[in-house]
Chain A
Amino acid sequence: MATDLAPPPVKAAKVAGHKPDRARTLWRYRWLYLLLIPGLAYFFVFKYVPMRGLQIAFQDFVPFLGYNGSEWVGFKHFVDLFTGPDFNRLMYNTLYLAFLNVIFVFPAPIIVALMLNELRINILKRSVQSLIYIPHFLSWTIVASLTYILFSVDYGVLAGWVHEFLGGQKIDYVAQPDWFRPIIILQTLWKTTGWTTIIYLAALAGVNAELYEAARMDGAGRWRQLWHVTLPAIRPTIVVMAILMSGNLLDMSFEQIWLMTNNLNRGTADVFDTFVYYVGINQGAFSYATAVGLFKGVVGVLLIFGSNWLAKRLGQRGLF
């Protein structure tokens, strides 16, 4: 339509004038583009080049032959994965931890932020905040070390206490498969809850004070204000955080799980990420490990788009 309406000479003139125009824009913003180059190079080399490397999931990759020389085998590695002995265990362990994360880890910072928000003694509020932010800055190796120091049987404080007060055998918590998941969740709660409250506290600080005035005039007590004013006000933030979390559901923290895995709890501990490292780097099965990683990545993307769609269906704003 548009092309029919435009007389040929004008169109030609436009096209002719277009190219120098773009060159002129490039030249005009040359310094800005120059600043952009190092960053772009980073994303290209360390993010997009590896995406090309995903092709080895469909090959029998031999490092010596390279990407082009290795033989294509289609979905062989995926079939091996889905029908193999490890898949059900990995899926179960991963989903179980994801489920526990949704139940315990996700709501925790919301609850703590609401409690901090109700705390009217400012010094106390600030002290508690300063303390609970700290674990975010400690490494997983430190958190794992603290866990071993507190929970292992040799000199574990907790093992000692339980033994002292409840009697019975001393339990080596870090070596028990049954205690693996509770310990992982406790670690995650300890390390992440405080820091995540920052985001909810920011949202809480933005709630219009007049809404509380109005609620009070209507006779609302503190619980009703919480329910009818505070929670609705921070709902968009909760939704965004939920969507972000859903994309990471299968991305169990590699370092955390790897550090807490030992020969005794391996059956419960193995998740997709640690399995990828184990078969890929330790055993050199590059192609198979890449297939496992790709499967996990695709499910993660589907989850994030799925929950975004769901959020919109439920009348929330969503991420994109």
Chain B
Amino acid sequence: MTVNQYRSVGSRVFDAINIAVLVGLGMITLLPLLYVLAGSFASESEISSRTFFLWPEKFVTSTYEYIFATDVFIRALLTTIGVTIVGTVIQVALTLTMAYPLAKRYLPGRTLVLNLVIFTVVFSGGIIPTYLVVRDLGMLNSYWALILPLAINPFYLIIVKSFFQELPEALEEAARIDGATEMGVFFKIVLPLSKPIIATFSLFYAVGIWNDYMSPLLYIDDSSRWTLQVLVRQLTGADAQNALSAMETVFFPTQGLKFAVVVIATLPILCFYPFLQKHFVKGVLIGSVKE
């Protein structure tokens, strides 16, 4: 019975269908991305004449050459890279420093702080009051507006806190007995042990800032401070033709250009992805299984 149950006809049919459906899901994920990649290297006439293709008949790089010779684009790319790097460092630093004390069960006031944090997940001031705070701080049209309002993600904070709680207390005790200060324990014992989780949440935070469209939409009017996501929107949205009037002299939104911009905005994420996949699965599991 134990061995045979996987050999019955019904069971085999189930397996066949199961495999077919799952492979299909994988394809649905992959194909649009491959099409955009292929299209970005295809000529304008090929894009309009062929419905769907994964390999361009004639391989051209003129779109990319054009893009990388354009100020607007270079500026948006550098802005996004800069904001992502600075933002991620700030976010990870703030999350780690706040999570560590919250992991100490003996710390008076810990529960109060945790409840204050969790409350912000359930209820918030919302778009307009937050906008007014950012405005009152003089951060409109400043890169800080893309970073500081998102400095700590409460979910990530809680997961990192749970991770710190699981670290063996004995290690810290031993360090203290050897004369290490609280700061010494944090920097020399706890942080080195937390590399996987730091890698995971650095990736999550970096992706969050890189992909953020709402903050620039809310807080940035100045087109010289546009991020990549705003540019993607401007070039590929439904109203691309109208929205482009501001920069029409610089850019002509051909289909190939749209494809190429999507590729460039996606590529860095897909490049890091394989290296970090192992880590993030582990990182998420730490958070979800332990509650």
- By beta carbon, the residue of chain A nearest B276 is A137
A213 to B1, CA, bound (A): 11
User: Does A145 contact B151, Cβ atoms closer than 8 Å?
Assistant: no
Residue B248 CB within 8 A of the other chain: no
In this complex, the member of A25, A146, A286, A296 whose beta carbon has the largest number of chain B beta carbons within 10 angstroms is A146
Q: A96 to chain B: closest CB distance in Å?
A: 21
Q: Mark A22-44, 1 if CB is under 8 A from B, else 0.
A: 00010001011101101110110
- By beta carbon, the residue of chain B nearest A32 is B101
Q: B24 to chain A: closest CB distance in Å?
A: 10
A150 to B207, CA, bound (A): 24
* Residues of A close to B28: CB separation below 8 A: 190
User: Does A121 contact B211, Cβ atoms closer than 8 Å?
Assistant: no
Given A280-B127, A280-B128, A293-B128, check contact A144 B237 (CB 8 Å): yes
In-complex Cβ contact of A199 among B181, B207, B270, B284 (8 A): B284
* Residues of A close to B232: CB separation below 8 A: 139, 141-142, 145
Residue B26 CB within 8 A of the other chain: yes
User: Does B18 contact A119, Cβ atoms closer than 8 Å?
Assistant: yes
A174 to B235, CA, bound (A): 16
A29 to B110, CA, bound (A): 12
Residue B104 CB within 8 A of the other chain: yes
User: Does A116 contact B258, Cβ atoms closer than 8 Å?
Assistant: no
User: Does B23 contact A51, Cβ atoms closer than 8 Å?
Assistant: no
Residue A262 CB within 8 A of the other chain: yes
User: Does B29 contact A190, Cβ atoms closer than 8 Å?
Assistant: yes
Q: B120 to chain A: closest CB distance in Å?
A: 4
Residue B130 CB within 8 A of the other chain: yes
Q: Which of B118-136 contact A (CB under 8 A)?
A: 120, 122-133
Q: A142 to chain B: closest CB distance in Å?
A: 6
User: Does B269 contact A138, Cβ atoms closer than 8 Å?
Assistant: yes
Q: Mark B95-110, 1 if CB is under 8 A from A, else 0.
A: 1011011101001100
User: Does A36 contact B113, Cβ atoms closer than 8 Å?
Assistant: yes
* Residues of B close to A149: CB separation below 8 A: 32, 35-36, 39, 236, 258-259, 262
Given A54-B125, A161-B51, A276-B127, check contact A135 B29 (CB 8 Å): yes
A129 to B101, CA, bound (A): 35
Q: A296 to chain B: closest CB distance in Å?
A: 8
Q: A197 to chain B: closest CB distance in Å?
A: 10
Residue B177 CB within 8 A of the other chain: no
Q: Which of A266-307 contact B (CB under 8 A)?
A: 273, 276-277, 280-281, 286, 289-290, 293-294, 296-297, 300-301, 304
- By beta carbon, the residue of chain A nearest B236 is A145
Residue A232 CB within 8 A of the other chain: no
Q: Which of A211-234 contact B (CB under 8 A)?
A: 213, 216-217, 219, 221-222
Residue B288 CB within 8 A of the other chain: yes
User: Does A216 contact B2, Cβ atoms closer than 8 Å?
Assistant: yes
User: Does A216 contact B19, Cβ atoms closer than 8 Å?
Assistant: no
- Contact-residue bracket for chain A: 35 or more
A304 to B233, CA, bound (A): 33
Please count how many residues in chain B sit with their CB below 8 Å of the partner chain's CB atoms: 98
Comparing A6-14, A82-90, A152-160, the segment that makes contact with chain B is A152-160
Residue A46 CB within 8 A of the other chain: yes
User: Does B125 contact A35, Cβ atoms closer than 8 Å?
Assistant: no
Residue B252 CB within 8 A of the other chain: no
User: Does A131 contact B129, Cβ atoms closer than 8 Å?
Assistant: no
In this complex, the member of A139, A157, A258 whose beta carbon has the largest number of chain B beta carbons within 10 angstroms is A139
A180 to B133, CA, bound (A): 34
A290 to B132, CA, bound (A): 11
* Residues of A close to B104: CB separation below 8 A: 29, 32
* Residues of B close to A54: CB separation below 8 A: 125-126, 129
Q: Which of A91-127 contact B (CB under 8 A)?
A: 112, 115-116, 118-121, 124, 127
A248 to B182, CA, bound (A): 39
The 28 listed contacts between A and B (C-beta, < 8 Å) are: A29-B101, A32-B104, A39-B157, A45-B137, A46-B130, A46-B148, A50-B129, A50-B133, A53-B128, A53-B129, A53-B133, A56-B128, A115-B22, A131-B30, A133-B277, A138-B211, A139-B229, A139-B265, A141-B230, A146-B36, A149-B39, A155-B48, A155-B255, A254-B214, A255-B213, A262-B239, A276-B126, A276-B127
The 10 A-B residue pairs whose C-beta atoms are closest, nearest first, are: A50-B125, A39-B98, A53-B129, A139-B211, A293-B126, A31-B182, A50-B129, A145-B236, A262-B238, A32-B101
12 additional contacts (CB under 8 A) given A119-B22, A144-B236, A149-B35: A46-B133, A53-B128, A53-B129, A56-B129, A128-B26, A145-B261, A157-B51, A202-B289, A216-B2, A259-B237, A277-B127, A277-B217
